[in-house]
Amino acid sequence: MAGESDVPENTLSCANCGKPANLQCPKCMELKLPREGSAFCSQECFKSSWSSHKSVHLKAKLSSPDTQNSGSVGEGWLYCLKRGQARTPKLPYFDWTGSLRPYPISSKRIVPGQIDKPDWADDGIPKIEPNSGLQHTVEVKTPDQIERMRETCRIAREVLDAAARIIQPGVTTDEIDRVVHEATIAAGGYPSPLNYHFFPKSCCTSVNEVICHGIPDARKLEDGDIVNVDVTVYYKGVHGDLNETYFVGNVDEESRQLVKCTYECLEKAISIVKPGIRFREIGEVISRHASMSGFSVVKSYCGHGIGELFHCAPNIPHYASILSF
């Protein structure tokens, strides 16, 4: 926090509480932003408003000539609204839960005409999936389906590995999306997330406090971040879906333990999968290990079936539930 301003105290109001202020946000001073919106009455007010106040710095950076001409954020880059259906040049408002903020996204990537596409590729609306009986009935896959799914999942694994190789501080999540998109197309597949319910990108990149389904954008990964990359490939009429969480540079011990515990939960869950096991037992194993390790399980999302549909039965809760089968 910078020292006293040379402007008389009674001419400025605290950006947080409105009281007379004579302290200035140092970042605002560095960016030469108007002092009226960067004054604070105390260190306490400054600290308590930091999570929201720093969005002012982001807006200033993105609108500056240097940023616009740098190639990182330029013409065609806009913020995403309504799950991909709309764009805006302004940072959207949201009740943020952490320090992460969205950055503008690039325009939609092109898929060659010869690539076999799912039914939402052109207009963003899945036609078969929502009303399919496989939303309620678990399909026993045929040998042919299993073989095609193995081939598709192998491609998806290779695509995810290609994305992992470029993850480091300074790389944008949009660049990760570009690698995923190009590797998928090169293998003859379609990136399933692209235009699925209008999702604007070819993979999901979820950084730090984002649970899942984050949209790749112009934000550069920072040392200490963790990033989950979620890849799904559509090939030969079936989908292959997988994701992993990666460390970016030097990650703190708490983040390391979180990712380690999550991986262990997955391994323990896989180890019990066999004919006769109830779906709810999978969640019980995951929930028990997470709790014993000092973590908890997000209950807002669950695992899902896959095959010729992107999402279908069965839904697999990751937590203990007597309501599950």
**CA–CA distance, 155 with 162 (Å, rounded to integer):** 11
Predicted confidence at residue 253, as pLDDT, reads 98
Predicted confidence at residue 109, as pLDDT, reads 97
Which pairs with CB-CB distance under 8 Å and at least 24 residues apart come from 295-303?
A: 295/258, 295/261, 295/262, 298/211, 300/211, 301/211, 301/212
- CATH architecture for residues 133-316: Alpha-Beta Complex (3.90)
Predicted confidence at residue 324, as pLDDT, reads 60
Predicted confidence at residue 141, as pLDDT, reads 98
Q: What is the pTM of this model?
A: 0.77
Beta-bridge partners for 101: none
Beta strands at 204-207 and 39-40: parallel, antiparallel or unpaired:
unpaired
SS3 154: helix
**CA–CA distance, 13 with 24 (Å, rounded to integer):** 11
What is each CA distance from 207 to 45, 113, 246, in whole angstroms? Answer: 28, 32, 10
Domain locations in the chain?
1-63, 133-316
Please give the average pLDDT of every successive group of 10 residues along the chain, which has 325 residues.
Answer: 47 84 85 81 84 69 46 68 82 87 95 98 96 96 98 99 98 98 98 97 98 96 98 99 98 98 98 95 97 96 96 94 65
Predicted confidence at residue 92, as pLDDT, reads 85
Predicted confidence at residue 185, as pLDDT, reads 98
Predicted confidence at residue 9, as pLDDT, reads 42
Whether residue 314 has a cis bond before it, omega within 30° of 0: yes
